[in-house]
Amino acid sequence: MSKRVAVAAANWKMNKTIAEAKAYMAELAEARADIAGEAEVIIFAPFTMLMKVARGAEAAKAGVGGQDMYWKASGAYTGEVSVPMLKDAGCTHVLVGHSERRGRFGVPEPELAGDLGKVFGDTDASCNIKVKVALEGGLIPCLCVGETLAEREAGQADPIIAAQLEAGLKDVSAEQVAGMLLAYEPVWSIGTGKVCDPDEAQRICGMIRATVAKLYDQPTADAVRVLYGGSMKADNVVGLLAKADIDGGLVGGASLKVADFKPIIAACAAS
Ligand code: 13P
């Protein structure tokens, strides 16, 4: 099996000002200089500050990603941002199908009951279009999958994740999948402080890789990077990265300060 370079991906979600993003990137560049070993760092930032993040990305040795996208290149789609626009802003990556974009929140959002929940409307079908259009447009998508607590308790985690993958990767070539990122983010673990047990995270990430092998072939499955996301932080990252099928982290809360994110990058570089 080829050695996969580990990925430390920051998902800032709806946080930071442009000035804070600029300061973060300068601090990240300093932090990177202290870390020996190879790790890929990606910053998924809000649209408003992508240009600023991209400006600091070379010094920080980081990729830059949008947190969502629309699949049309341009047109009458008020409020949406396209792949060419993300590229224009300096992006290399884009998140697709984060559970929050699918309207599935780790911390319950009672305010979103009923019709309001439709604000976050990604489905497996929309994720599939986004993955294909991102790839065609030259961005690397990070496709997120994962089960809710109710789905886990009903014993449905594995089939739901396999179905999310199969639908999300429909008509995507083996070569394209090999260069993508997949992220296992158990919804119940996001923003809750309840990290998934490393053995269980490994079991699911192994199942994700096996699903890619079944849909494609073993070399493709061996090449794709599978990240874990959900309450990852300095004190649990090493145990997670020690697992054979976990190739990095997609980090929310613990990515917002360089001081918290640096040990996660260092763990990736050491893994
Ligand atoms: P937390 O690290 O805050 O749990 O968020 C994980 C996540 O959703 C990253 O995309």
Checking if the pLDDT of 2 tops 80, the result is no
* Closest C-alpha among 11, 64, 87, 82 to residue 250: 11
* Closest C-alpha among 242, 245, 182 to residue 1: 245
* Residues 115, 52: Cα–Cα separation, whole Å: 35
Ligand 1 mean position, distance from CA 198 (Å): 16
7-270: CATH superfamily:
Aldolase class I (3.20.20.70)
Checking if the pLDDT of 173 tops 70, the result is yes
Checking if the pLDDT of 44 tops 70, the result is yes
pLDDT more than 90, % of the chain? 96
As a whole number of angstroms, the longest Cα–Cα distance in the chain is: 50
Annotated catalytic residue, options 40, 93, 98, 100: 98
- Torsion angle, CA of 130/226/220/88, rounded to 10 degrees? 40
pLDDT more than 70, % of the chain? 99
What is the tens place of the pLDDT at every residue in 210-240?
Answer: 999 999 999 999 999 999 999 999 999 999 9
Decide if 93 is catalytic. Answer: no
Annotated catalytic residue, options 40, 100, 151, 185: 185
pLDDT level of residue 115 (50, 70, 90 thresholds): confident
* Residues 46, 89: Cα–Cα separation, whole Å: 12
Instruction: Name the closest-CA residue to atom 5, ligand 1.
Output: 252
Classify residue 78 as exposed, middle or buried by CB count within 10 Å of its CB (0-12, 13-18, 19+): exposed
Decide if 98 is catalytic. Answer: yes
What is the tens place of the pLDDT at every residue in 123-143?
Answer: 999 999 999 999 999 999 999
The mean pLDDT value for 40-48 works out to: 99
* Residues 56, 59: Cα–Cα separation, whole Å: 6
pLDDT level of residue 1 (50, 70, 90 thresholds): very low
Across the chain, the runs of DSSP E, i.e. the strands, are 7-11, 40-44, 62-66, 93-96, 140-145, 181-184, 225-228, 248-251
pLDDT of residue 3: 79
Mutate which of 232, 255, 261 to test ligand 1's pocket (most atoms within 8 Å of Cβ)?
232
**Which residues form ligand 1's pocket by a CB distance below 6 Å?**
11, 98, 185, 190-191, 229-232, 250-254
